Structure 1
Amino acid sequence: MRFHVSIAEAMQQLKKSEDDFAVLFEHGSMRGIIFRPEELDDQEPHIQDEIYIVLKGSGDFTLEEKTVKVGPGDFLFVPAGAEHQFTNFSPDLLLWVIFYGEEGGEED
């Protein structure tokens, strides 16, 4: 069972991806993802709960109608179905994303 992913390995997987994210591991309904939004974060609400952990960069994060400034080390929780988006973010914004709960959620 895989239980460790280094940031170096995550970045290699992200570079290989045609998207702005790469799925690094999956177990049951849980998925671990590295996410670097490009010029616009246009994601839609997901059917799974999710957690973001900011690794690098900064920006604004809006959950429903509440906006906060985020930076390295910040933890964000998004309940399933909630509207959310990163805006005004630096080009180096990099996030761990953990999806869990109901299986079959959409990707970032």
Structure 2
Amino acid sequence: MSDWLIPLAEFQKGLAASGEDFFTGVRHGSMRALVYAPKGSDPQTPHKQDELYIVISGTGRFRKGEEVRPFAPGDVIFVEACAEHRFEDFSDDFLTWAIFWGPDGGE
């Protein structure tokens, strides 16, 4: 996608067509913006860049290191580069924005 305003519906179409649990719809420099919708469990491992999640729909718990907190739509979750993290016990309608940026190792 090359536009600067992209509706969520376009990301959701890309997600459905991808067969993956994520779809990257915007890239610029080191920044990537995507939607993420794991099913059943969250298999992700630590990332090299800083990351921001903005929950679109669904509820559950988020684990960062040893700390676990509930999340709901509208919540913003920051994860620094290389931190262990994952979504747990999330509802079937869970969907979140994920935005990565910056150098490997974080800012």
Same fold (TM over 0.5): yes
Partner Cα separation in structure 2 for residue 49 and residue 34 of structure 1: 16
Map of 2:46 onto structure 1 = 45
Map of 1:6 onto structure 2 = 7
Q: Does 1:15 align with 2:53?
A: no
Partner Cα separation in structure 2 for residue 58 and residue 79 of structure 1: 22
Q: CA deviation at 1:2?
A: 2.6
Q: Does 1:29 align with 2:30?
A: yes
Q: What letter is aligned with 1:98?
A: I
Aligned residues: 103
Q: Under a length normalisation based on structure 2, what TM-score does the superposition of the two structures give?
A: 0.93
Deviation readout 1:35-70 (Å, 9 max, x if unpaired) = 101111010000000000000000000011111100
Q: Under a length normalisation based on structure 1, what TM-score does the superposition of the two structures give?
A: 0.92
Q: CA deviation at 1:7?
A: 1.2
Q: Which runs of 5+ in 1 are unaligned?
A: 104-108
Backbone CA RMSD of aligned residues: 1.0
